[in-house]
Structures are given as C-alpha cells and as structure tokens.
Structure 1
Amino acid sequence: MDSLLLLKEIATSILIFLITRLSIQTFLKSYRQKLPPGPKGWPVVGALPLMGSMPHVTLAKMAKKYGPIMYLKMGTNNMVVASTPAAARAFLKTLDQNFSNRPSNAGATHLAYDARDMVFAHYGSRWKLLRKLSNLHMLGGKALDDWAQIRDEEMGHMLGAMYDCNKRDEAVVVAEMLTYSMANMIGQVILSRRVFETKGSESNEFKDMVVELMTVAGYFNIGDFIPFLAKLDLQGIERGMKKLHKKFDALLTSMIEEHVASSHKRKGKPDFLDMVMAHHSENSDGEELSLTNIKALLLNLFTAGTDTSSSIIEWSLAEMLKKPSIMKKAHEEMDQVIGRDRRLKESDIPKLPYFQAICKETYRKHPSTPLNLPRISSEPCQVNGYYIPENTRLNVNIWAIGRDPDVWNNPLEFMPERFLSGKNAKIDPRGNDFELIPFGAGRRICAGTRILSLFHLVHYILGLFHF
C-alpha cells in the first residue's frame, strides 16, 4: 500500500511539473506580445478559485478593474472575456470566423452526444446542414409563420389548464405550465403530436430534466480546465451528466421510434423530423446525418426551446409583479388594443410597444445565458492592440453588458420605458445591436433567435395576463 501511495504521489508530482512547464513555455512564447490585462491567478489552477458560484458576476467585477477585455489563465487554458458592447463587437463581428468553434467540454461530451449536435458541433459542413434544416423547417421566418396556428392552440391549452387548476382550487405553477406548453408546441412541429396530453407527473419530470441539464451545463467544471483531473470528476458533475444523458437518450429514442412507426399517417404532410430523417445515413458520410446527430439535434431543440423561453417569461412576470405600476400600464395598453371580448392574436403585437419594451428590458436585465456559450480561437489574432493566442476561449459577459452604467441609465432598475424613445427604441435583440445581445451574435448566434424574439414571447406573456 505504501509503495502504491508513493507511486501515485510521484505520478501527481510529474503531472504538475509538466503542466507548470507547459504553462511557462506558453507564457514565454507570448511574452513579447501584449496580452490583455487580468488577474494573475494561482499556480496550475490559474484564476479558477476566484470564480465563485456566479462567474458572470465575478467577471463583471473584475472588468471594472482590468477593463473591457480581460485575459485569464484558467487551469491549462487561456481565456479572454469581453464585457462591453465594443469588445463584444470586436470578437463576434470583426473576428467572427476566427471564433466560430466551441471548446470541448464535459457538457458537449456527456450531454450533447460528444458534440454531434448543433450547439457544440465543429463549424463545418455537418453543422451547416443541421442549422440549414432547423432554419428552413422550424426556426426560420417562413417556418414560424407556417406554424402560427400551433402556437395559438397551445396558448389555448395552457390557459385551459390554468383554468382547471383554478376550479380545483390548486396553485398555478407558472414554470411548469410554460414548460408543458413550450414542449407541446415544439413537439407538434417536430413530431406532429403533443408530447404531453395533460400537465402532470410526466411533464413535470421533463421540466426537472431540462432544468437539471441547463444547470449542470453551466457549471465551471474543473476537468474542463485541468484535463488530468477530468477522470477524477472531483465535483461529481460528469457522473450527473452521464446519468441525465441516459434519461434523455431513452426519451428521444422512444420519440423517434414512435415517429417512424407512424410515418404512414403523414403521407404528403411531412413534419420537421421527417425532413431531418430524409438526410439520415447509417454511415454519416458527407452531408448525411447519423441517428446520433438527429437525437442530438432534438435534444437541442427541446431543451433550449423550453428552458430559455419559460425562464425569460418568468422573469418578465416577476418584474411586473414587483412593480404594479408596470403591470397596470401593460393592462391599460392591452385593454386599449385588444379589449376584453377576445383573446390576443399575434397580429396585435406590433400595436403593443410597451409590452415589446418589457421583453427587451427583461432580456437586458435577465439574459438566459449570462456568459453566452464559449467560443475558441482557431489562430492567433489582435484585438484592440492586444494579442490573443491560438486556442483561447472566449466568453462574452452579456450580463455585464446589460448592467453597464456607461451603456444604460440606472441599469439595476427595471424600466421598460427606456426602450420607448431615443436611440434605444431602435435596438433589436437579434444580434446586430451589441448593447443587447441575449442570443449572442455572429454565425454561432442562437438558432432559436426568432422563436425566442419579442414577437412570440410577447404572445405568451400577454396570454397569461389578458384573462
């Protein structure tokens, strides 16, 4: 036992020595180049111990000291953080192509089928095919118009479920209702059927799975930054990911099998999965998709489509409940435009500028991905006079941009009025105005930007308030 312990200590010492040597070599290589300012961090682990439980908040505080572009050593990895609109534009627009890939991490490996999905896949022909199919048949403008009736039907189902809860004198859990509704809406487009006929244990379990996936995917996993510690899984994150992945894989496999078995019922009326399956190949050569690619894509659409939508709507409702004056003004606008004799139609939304401003203000203050999804540089580059090495992770601190006092007046206050006049009135949250980029920007912008945009979210928020 003593010999075994000694061998482990020697092996650990050698690994630490090699990592330290590699770090020194990397530093010396870029010594003559001017790296962005940032905290020195600790030996081996770098700035990892400084991150805390809310890295976006920690990094926002650091940006006040080190500036809009910061460089941090995170374990064996280089990381750069952009914290202002100008810095974000420099990376996501000017250098978009160089930062078009995602770094590998445990989430991509254990949850997203080893990065065979659309979110984490390498920027290339297969990613472009996944994106093209998603835009053409589900997430693009024409596709969204084609299934407007489905959104309206699901709104009706959700309001009916709320009414039933009221009749039974039961509490209405908004988060569960929204997940139930969003999952069914997406299910109708992808599978030609509602995933959950009634709100209950199945839909609640699905909601819990989605919340767990989005939560663990956002953790700062030590193994992602110090590779030799990955197998040890010191935080237990990867064990949880593998367990959760099995649940999702069983659910997605069942969905696909049922869908294939019912294909005869959709002759002449193909749905999204039919279109995707037309590109299915067991070998996955060229621009063909394996069954794993397809399951990974469905995982993206169901999880991101339900969690991000429901969370932003919850924040909107919470802010309005905290400020009755905002809720009152919203009600007055609805009464004036819609009245009390009918339900909201999507064609009403352009006539409701105050509610659109509420959505924008929620995106500003409560972005669903505060640090955006990370990217990685394919080659060295220069940004604002700073040297950015190859294989440097990029995080854009969307949360910090939304609360920057140099960008927004009284940034901690929830004030929809800021978007009703002046230059802010023209701001669009879909990736062109870097003061407000809740979905990111550039070629890796969130694929669901249109479905998560003002037009469709307002539909759901208003539906909750109108009756």
Structure 2
Amino acid sequence: MEIPYLLTTTLLLLLFTTLYLLLRRRSSTLPPTIFPSLPIIGHLYLLKPPLYRTLAKLSAKHGPILRLQLGFRRVLIVSSPSAAEECFTRNDIVFANRPKMLFGKIIGVNYTSLAWSPYGDNWRNLRRIASIEILSIHRLNEFHDIRVEETRLLIQKLLSACNSGSSQVTMKFSFYELTLNVMMRMISGKRYFGGDNPELEEEGKRFRDMLDETFVLAGASNVGDYLPVLSWLGVKGLEKKLIKLQEKRDVFFQGLIDQLRKSKGTEDVNKRKTMIELLLSLQETEPEYYTDAMIRSFVLVLLAAGSDTSAGTMEWVMSLLLNHPQVLKKAQNEIDTVIGNNRLVDESDIPNLPYLRCIINETLRLYPAGPLLVPHEASSDCVVGGYNVPRGTMLIVNQWAIHHDPKVWDEPETFNPERFEGLEGTRDGFKLLPFGSGRRSCPGEGLAVRMLGMTLGSIIQCFDWERTSEELVDMTEGPGLTMPKAIPLVAKCKPRVEMTNLLSDL
C-alpha cells in the first residue's frame, strides 16, 4: 500500500513542480508590471487625470513597455518609438482590432462603424469607402473650392472685426465654425455658420452641442468598461446619457439623409455629390449593406474626427505663435517670399512653405489632438520588445509620452519648429504619430493637412497678431478627449500693410 501512495505523491509533486516552472517561465516573459495590483480593481487606483501624463510618468519609472491590470482588462502601455513601430509593423494585423468599450459606442455609434469595427471584411470595406470614395485625392480636389471659400469668409470676418474697432477675436469659435462649415458642406451641402439663414444657424448650434456632448462623454471616465460588475449593480449613468445622445444624433442625421433623398432626381447631374449623396447612390445597389444606420454612423465619425481636432490644433498653433513672435515673423517672411502679396495662400502652396509645415508638425508634437491613440486589442498572442503579449490584451500607445520623451527629442518641452527642417510629411519615423500608424491610422490625414496649411497660412499672411496683454498666452491643457486648451485663446489682429490691396478686394 505504501509504494502506490509514494508513487502517486511523487508524480503529483513532479506535476505541480513542472506546472509551477512553466507558469513562472511564462510570467517572467510578460512585460513588466507595477506592484501591487489590487484584487478586483488591479491598477485602477493609479490612474488620475490627465491620463496621458499619468501613464507617461509610470512608463518613465517602470519602462516604455508596461503591463497594467485595469479591472478585468489586461492593458499594454507603449511609450517608445521602437515599441510603437513593432506594434504597427510586425504586429499590425494582430493589433488591428478594437476592444469592446462604451468609449467605442460614443465615438462610433456602434461597433460596426469605421472607427470601432472589428478587423475583418466589414472594416476593410468601410476603410475602402473612406479612402477611395470619400477622402481620396480626387474627392478632396472636388471640394477644394469649399475650403477656399470658407477660408476667405474667415478672413472677411476677421477684417470686419478689425474695421469695426473690435480687434480681439476668440479663435476657438472662429476655427470651430470654419471646420464645421467645411465638413458639413462636404457631407450634406449645408453651411451653418456665418450666413444669413437663422434657421440653418440654429440647426448648426444644435449639432455643435451634440458634438460637444459626444466629446465630453467620450472623455469621461467609465469604470464600467473595466469593472462590469458595477454596470450589473445598476451604475448606468453614462449609458443612459449615451442612449439619449444617440437618439438625438440619429434624428439629426436621419433628417439630413431624408432631405437629400427627397431632392434626388431634381439636382443638376453635373453637380458634385455630397458625401451623403454618394453613400445614398451606393445604397441603391447594396441596400442591405448601406443602410441609413450605417450612413448615419459613417458621417458622424467623419464629423467628429475632422472638426474638433483640426480646430483645436489651429488654436494651439496660434497660441504658440503669439508666445513666440519671432516664429510668426519668420513664417510671414516665408509666405511673402514664396507667395507674394497679390494672392492668398492655396493648398497647392503648402509643399513650398516648409517652415509653415515645421510649425504645424511641432504643434502636433507638443499638443497632439489624440494624446492617447485610439485603443487596439490583440487578436492573438504576439511578442513586443521581447515580451509575450497574450491574446485579448488592450494596447494603448501613449503618443504624448513619445512626443515629450527627452530620450527621443532634444529639449522636448521647448517650441522649436526648426527641429523638423528637412522632414517630409508629418512623420519622423515613429517618433511623431499625430495621425496614428498602420492599418487603423486616420484616413482623414490628407484633409486635415490641407485645412491646417491653407487656413493658418492665410491668416498669418493677411494679419499681424498680438497677445491681448503683456502676459504670455496660458498654455494649460483642459480636460477632454482631444486635449483642448483650458482657457480659449483670445487674440488681437490687424491687417498687414503689405496686404492692403488684396484685402480691399475681398
């Protein structure tokens, strides 16, 4: 009796020892983590706003590849160019998925939208529509006159303010109305702000409020995404707000769709199609795929991604230029030399204005519109930086940390556009990621670059800008998904003497 007992005990000990060694070996190849990870909540106790700064401090202390347990979610925090490159090149397909979160519903309406759709045939088709049908170079060229007209209307508005003796301008509202007008005219043909139609302006204000609410909700902390038990226990405040917001957005966008559907057949055949009209034409051939719900979701993502982000970046650019007047003067000199004083800056001029591009790149480095890239999720086990990353791990790339890393950039907190001289485009390897990278990078990059370049170039060309006081512009970051300024920029402007003749003709 004793022999079988000893044999069984020995076998069990060997089994447990083997399992222990295997588990220990496996855990030793996982990315480093932080002690302690508390029961149930994990590392949630470490997170404080603003999240990108908190995560940057943790990565600076514990390493650029960091594993956190946020409630029930395993999360990989990446804060170095080399690790980001590995995620978006060798592991690009693995990380092409999105995690299921309430955040995704807020931004993308549902999990089948362009922003949040799982990686697969549906996402590839949505991406194709965005890249080829909606945001291709050909389509952007078709809408060129809209961007030109809205930029000139902004200049006229600023000129009118100067002539009336009110030289102080709240830049946030001016930029926001410009970007919303551009996007809505491209999407539905409507111009909401700055016209003489009170009904349209009121409709635009309602939409702007919905868009603001979308970003506020998206930026709110939702512990239920990490601790589902709270939702089961009835803590559903954010979900209730989302349902009401979705209902308002559905009514608004369905109204746009119905109006354009009714006008179909009466419009000029040679007239270019708006984005909704193009999607409605695709609906005729594939009605089961191009449903009204799909169109509503699609245009919401385009508006959310293309308006607030561009307007916010323009505000940061002007804030930096007011605090660094020598940079503003250098940009004006470049425009005067290349363009002259007889015409306004155009989108086609941007490649010939490298210093203006340097200013934009440096602003995107210091104040990226998405300090944390939209989360990804590993669809299978993979390796990042020599560490094993299990399937289902959520990936957060902290581009703010990369952009402010003293190991990557000389004097990273200093505004120095000259650091980008000689760089083509908006990237410097994986050191600069303002539009993400890989399969799920922003498809609207081309539109954003055009709008930023022409708008900023035009107002720099036409006006001299000053601060409203001797004090430097407050550069404090406010709460929100797209890193807005805490205090909206108010600036003084006056027409440049060199541009008097051209401005008098506008």
**Same structural fold, with TM-score higher than 0.5 when normalized by the shorter chain:** yes
Deviation at 1:284, TM superposition (A): 6.4
Distance 1:176 1:201 in 2: 15
Distance 1:258 1:309 in 2: 28
- What is the DSSP-based 3-state SS (H/G/I as helix, E as strand, rest coil) of the residue aligned with 1:94? coil
Distance 2:121 2:182 in 1: 29
416, 435, 452: which one pairs with 1:439? 435
Give the number of equivalent residue pairs: 434
Per-residue CA deviation, residues 410-450 of structure 1 (Å, 9 max, x unaligned), is 00001001111xxxx325325x7201111110000011111
Match in the other structure for 1:131: 127
Larger radius of gyration: 2
Match in the other structure for 1:22: none
Asked if 2 retains the 8 angstrom alpha-carbon contact of 1:126 and 1:289, the reply is: no
Asked if 2 retains the 8 angstrom alpha-carbon contact of 1:150 and 1:188, the reply is: yes
Distance 2:27 2:269 in 1: 65
Asked if 2 retains the 8 angstrom alpha-carbon contact of 1:184 and 1:195, the reply is: yes
Residue identity matched to 2:34:
P
Per-residue CA deviation, residues 12-38 of structure 1 (Å, 9 max, x unaligned), is xxxxxxxxxxxxxxx969954521112
Within 5 Å, which residues of 2 pair with 1:299-310? Answer: 299-310=300-311
Per-residue CA deviation, residues 370-395 of structure 1 (Å, 9 max, x unaligned), is 11000000011122221111100000
1:47 aligns with 2:43: yes
Distance 2:274 2:381 in 1: 43
Per-residue CA deviation, residues 123-178 of structure 1 (Å, 9 max, x unaligned), is 12222222212222331222222222221111112222333444555553222222
Distance 1:281 1:148 in 2: 27
- What is the DSSP-based 3-state SS (H/G/I as helix, E as strand, rest coil) of the residue aligned with 1:303? helix
Match in the other structure for 2:81: 85
Deviation at 1:181, TM superposition (A): 1.5
1:192 aligns with 2:189: yes
Q: Higher mean Cα deviation, 179-188 or 77-86? A: 179-188
Match in the other structure for 1:64: 60
1:73 aligns with 2:69: yes
Match in the other structure for 1:142: 138
Deviation at 1:232, TM superposition (A): 5.2
Within 5 Å, which residues of 2 pair with 1:276-287? Answer: 276-280=279-283, 285=288
Q: Higher mean Cα deviation, 197-206 or 31-40? A: 197-206
Distance 1:72 1:123 in 2: 24
Asked if 1 retains the 8 angstrom alpha-carbon contact of 2:106 and 2:214, the reply is: no
1:366 aligns with 2:367: yes
Could you say if the C-alpha distance between residues 283 and 267 of structure 1 is closer, same or farther in structure 2, counting changes exceeding 3 Å? Answer: closer
Q: Higher mean Cα deviation, 162-171 or 288-297? A: 162-171
Asked if 1 retains the 8 angstrom alpha-carbon contact of 2:328 and 2:460, the reply is: no
Which runs of 5 or more residues in structure 1 are unaligned? Answer: 1-26
Match in the other structure for 1:13: none
Distance 1:209 1:78 in 2: 32
Could you say if the C-alpha distance between residues 379 and 281 of structure 1 is closer, same or farther in structure 2, counting changes exceeding 3 Å? Answer: farther
Residue identity matched to 2:274:
D
Could you say if the C-alpha distance between residues 362 and 204 of structure 1 is closer, same or farther in structure 2, counting changes exceeding 3 Å? Answer: farther
Asked if 2 retains the 8 angstrom alpha-carbon contact of 1:92 and 1:441, the reply is: yes
Q: Higher mean Cα deviation, 55-64 or 347-356? A: 347-356
Within 5 Å, which residues of 2 pair with 1:13-412? Answer: 31-32=26-27, 34-40=29-35, 41-110=37-106, 112-169=108-165, 171-196=168-193, 198=195, 202-231=203-232, 234=235, 236-263=237-264, 264-269=266-271, 270-280=273-283, 285=288, 288-412=289-413
- What is the DSSP-based 3-state SS (H/G/I as helix, E as strand, rest coil) of the residue aligned with 2:448? coil
Q: Higher mean Cα deviation, 202-211 or 148-157? A: 202-211
Could you say if the C-alpha distance between residues 282 and 120 of structure 1 is closer, same or farther in structure 2, counting changes exceeding 3 Å? Answer: farther
Distance 1:155 1:88 in 2: 36
- What is the DSSP-based 3-state SS (H/G/I as helix, E as strand, rest coil) of the residue aligned with 2:307? helix
Match in the other structure for 1:5: none
Distance 1:131 1:283 in 2: 17
Residue identity matched to 1:240:
K
Distance 2:24 2:243 in 1: 38
Distance 1:29 1:333 in 2: 61
Asked if 2 retains the 8 angstrom alpha-carbon contact of 1:282 and 1:290, the reply is: no
- What is the DSSP-based 3-state SS (H/G/I as helix, E as strand, rest coil) of the residue aligned with 2:76? strand
Per-residue CA deviation, residues 217-243 of structure 1 (Å, 9 max, x unaligned), is 133310111112135575843333333
Which runs of 5 or more residues in structure 2 are unaligned? Answer: 1-21, 463-506
Deviation at 1:110, TM superposition (A): 4.7
Asked if 1 retains the 8 angstrom alpha-carbon contact of 2:110 and 2:297, the reply is: no
Deviation at 1:281, TM superposition (A): 7.3
Could you say if the C-alpha distance between residues 88 and 278 of structure 1 is closer, same or farther in structure 2, counting changes exceeding 3 Å? Answer: same
1:463 aligns with 2:458: yes
Distance 2:287 2:429 in 1: 38
Match in the other structure for 1:23: none
Deviation at 1:203, TM superposition (A): 4.0
- What is the DSSP-based 3-state SS (H/G/I as helix, E as strand, rest coil) of the residue aligned with 1:451? helix
Could you say if the C-alpha distance between residues 196 and 81 of structure 1 is closer, same or farther in structure 2, counting changes exceeding 3 Å? Answer: same
Asked if 2 retains the 8 angstrom alpha-carbon contact of 1:402 and 1:435, the reply is: yes
Deviation at 1:271, TM superposition (A): 2.9
Asked if 2 retains the 8 angstrom alpha-carbon contact of 1:349 and 1:459, the reply is: yes
Residue identity matched to 1:345:
D
TM-score by length of 2: 0.80
Asked if 2 retains the 8 angstrom alpha-carbon contact of 1:133 and 1:276, the reply is: no
Could you say if the C-alpha distance between residues 167 and 36 of structure 1 is closer, same or farther in structure 2, counting changes exceeding 3 Å? Answer: same
Residue identity matched to 2:442:
C
- What is the DSSP-based 3-state SS (H/G/I as helix, E as strand, rest coil) of the residue aligned with 1:95? coil
Q: Percent identity?
A: 32
438, 443, 450: which one pairs with 2:446? 450
